[in-house]
Structure 1
Amino acid sequence: MHNDLLCAVVARPVHRWAAFFRERWLPQLRAGGVNLLTLPVFIEDPYRPEGALRRTLRMIEAAHRLAAGNSDAVALCSDGAQVDGVHAEDRIALVLALESAPGVGEDVELLETLFRLDVRIASLAHFGRAALADGSGEDRTGGRLTRAGVAALAEMERIGMLFDVSHLGAAGVEHVLELASRPVIATHSSARALLDHHRNLTDEQIHGIAAGGGIVCVNFFAPYLHEHDHSIDRLIDHIEHVAGVAGVEHVGLGPDFIKEVLADTTPPCCEHAFVEGVPADAYLPGLEGPAGLPLVTEALQRRGWPEDDIVAVLGENVRRLLRTELGWPAALATA
């Protein structure tokens, strides 16, 4: 439910967008058994705030072009029925998401504009302060959703856009859970009980997401799993913890394959990239990119997980949520 590969695609010349995806990413997705992929539209700091909307639109256009240029292998989906149909054709279903919404700002009506362009999931903030909410890096401020953020949540629920709480500040998550009338999702968040980091969710938050019918998709970013032991066992610890709190039917996978994206976007001449003082390309060995995803299945099998539960976590839980919520206006959503 999270792979920033659009950042790598859009860094290429326009005429290479579809071909680059086919050459660099499609083989990895096939090797990893991926048949559902959320494409976040992430706007880097140099584009904020003045160029955020233009950058947002350009990345959305890149998604549409890579889908059109690889229509034998992938399809951009606007609802859960389309996701299921693409799966039945042995193609990869792509879903567009906003990772924070700097291009929207306080102009909440633009969410419907972006919905028309097939954006179906959105979060309101990244690490810092934004027009709609505070990101988790601002937790000390205790900021909840702004008035525009409250309006954004209501608008997303009305049109059928899934609300993503990943990156949202702790008070913001609590605010969303107070107000939400439809299920929400955490596309890439792990368990704070196992590592006390502001990007992780508390047990109370995890339980609240599950109680509303939502799903927590566990992040693979190694520094959010353990301070020193960057192994797949620590990832499985987080998956098992979330399952224990939320129930296995409310768990999914939200890999953050930063190492692969950085390799595609950062010239060798540049300084090493960091996220809040942590090397941004820190990764779990073997899980540098989507080709390593079968290792997660094997690790769950070693822990003795039943096959049905493994299949649920690998994607069936998310597919169930998308069938009932993705792209359906509030008046038409099914229970």
Structure 2
Amino acid sequence: MADMLGTAPHGSDDLLARARALLARHPLVDGHNDLPWEAREQTRYDFEALDVGERLTTTQTDLPRLAEGGVGAQFWSVFVPSTLQGDSAVVATLEQVDGVHRMIGSYADRLALARTADEIERATATGRIASLLGAEGGHSIGSSLGTLRLLHVLGVRYLTLTHNDNTPWADSATDVPVVGGLSEFGREVVREMNRLGMMVDLSHVAATTMRDALEATDAPVIFSHSSALALCDTPRNVPDDVLAALPANGGVCMVTFVPEFVSPATAAWRVEAAAAAAVVGVEARDWEAFGRFTAGWQREHPKPDATIGQVVAHLEHVREVAGIDHVGIGGDYDGTDTFPVGLEDVSGYPRLVAALLERSWSEADVARLVRGNTLRVMRDVEAVARDLQTTRSPSLKTFAELDDTR
């Protein structure tokens, strides 16, 4: 514990006890977890074969470790790779949604479906983990606002505008720019999400897309799993000018734990891995193929470890630039292979909170970080939707109608 926190051993047990007590009072709301994709890959959503109610060795997430981590609400990512497009992406996303609903039903004594901030609070009051859905990538809607609306009906409460590849209407952080941010249809997607009460998630998108979305939205935005560009130079992180715009917008940046996004050494390792992969015809933005490549490549090129201290530095940078009301946590567990030392799985959140307390974060500020800020954003998005639904009808615009000249 002392090595993880950088403190003398005599204070470590007290810090961890304080952290656990704080999380018991303010159960953490985490913005992003990819367990559903692991369930798909490992057992095709067979929750008898992959019993997440027991401690597992093949995932970073299960219900016992979520409880140990003080997690009170989890956004489950209904992610599908952006190598899937069109109808194939929509079908796979619906299967992911179905998988999450069945997981919640299979563990109804410990999980509760939540679609609003109030439903999160009600789940907490019953001692269950509130379970929310987030769709990771605009390819999941197949350039259809009707599909977007039906995902909302099914409980999806945020859409990440892109994943690793561009959509026809939005540029990704890790693809070659095509539309220069958001196209006109992309702006219509944002407006329709505002009307529905679906949060606009700007993780994975290009900085130009971030700025266009902030200009187009009537509601607060989120970054469900991104860190600070100023501390780790990777396109997946958020530049300071965008962080500085969050107070006016009301949004929140949920700092992620992915080593490549928090550690400059690990980010540099990934750049080297991407170059090596390109030599054999593997693109780094192909999430599955690149993951298979790096699994072998790192045997001779070990990935540098990230630390809890580096995660703390990102949290403090976002707090400094955007303000304490605009920072949250999005671990991205089961979305990558390694995590910072001490945060290897979802049971590690108390160690992060202990590190913040050691850095003299007040308990009130930690409560904002782990829970209050995300609930406030959700309530603000819900309020905007209620107002817009009295003045704005569902959009009947189509991609072809708005962007056919691009």
1:291 to 347, 362, 365: 347
Distance in 2 separating the partners of 1:45 and 1:245: 32
Q: Does 1:217 align with 2:254?
A: yes
Superposed displacement of residue 239, structure 1:
0.2
Q: Does 1:301 align with 2:377?
A: no
Identity of aligned residues (%): 32
Distance in 2 separating the partners of 1:129 and 1:200: 17
**Is the contact made by 2:141 and 2:147 (CA closer than 8 Å) also made in structure 1?**
yes
* 1:103 alignment counterpart: 140
* 2:38 alignment counterpart: 8
Amino acid at match of 1:218: V
Distance 1:209 1:70, change over 3 A: same
Q: Does 1:314 align with 2:370?
A: yes
**Farther-moved stretch of structure 1 (167-176 vs 96-105):** 96-105
Distance in 2 separating the partners of 1:238 and 1:198: 15
Superposed displacement of residue 20, structure 1:
2.4
Superposed displacement of residue 328, structure 1:
6.7
- Name structure 2 gaps, 5 residues minimum: 1-30, 57-61, 266-304, 390-406
SS in 2 for 1:2: strand
Distance in 1 separating the partners of 2:92 and 2:78: 9
Superposed displacement of residue 45, structure 1:
4.7
TM-score, reference length from structure 2: 0.73
Distance in 1 separating the partners of 2:84 and 2:245: 34
Question: Aligned runs of 1:42-53 on 2, under 5 Å?
Answer: 42-45=79-82, 47-53=84-90
* 2:110 alignment counterpart: 73
TM-score, reference length from structure 1: 0.88
Q: Does 1:134 align with 2:134?
A: no
Q: Does 1:158 align with 2:195?
A: yes
Amino acid at match of 2:132: V
Distance in 1 separating the partners of 2:243 and 2:319: 10
Cα deviation code 1:273-332 (max 9, x no counterpart):
xxxxxxx52320121211111111110011111111111111121122223324973427
Superposed displacement of residue 10, structure 1:
2.3
Distance 1:150 1:68, change over 3 A: same
Q: Does 1:124 align with 2:161?
A: yes
Distance in 1 separating the partners of 2:53 and 2:184: 42
1:241 to 303, 307, 317: 317
SS in 1 for 2:204: coil
Q: Which has the greater radius of gyration?
A: 2
- Name structure 1 gaps, 5 residues minimum: 262-279
1:22 to 44, 53, 73: 53
2:183 to 140, 146, 160: 146
**Is the contact made by 1:127 and 1:134 (CA closer than 8 Å) also made in structure 2?**
no
Superposed displacement of residue 134, structure 1:
1.1
Aligned-pair Cα RMSD in Å: 2.0
Superposed displacement of residue 46, structure 1:
5.3
**Is the contact made by 1:139 and 1:171 (CA closer than 8 Å) also made in structure 2?**
no
Q: Does 1:185 align with 2:241?
A: no
Aligned length: 313
Greater RCO (CA < 8 Å, at least 6 residues apart): 2
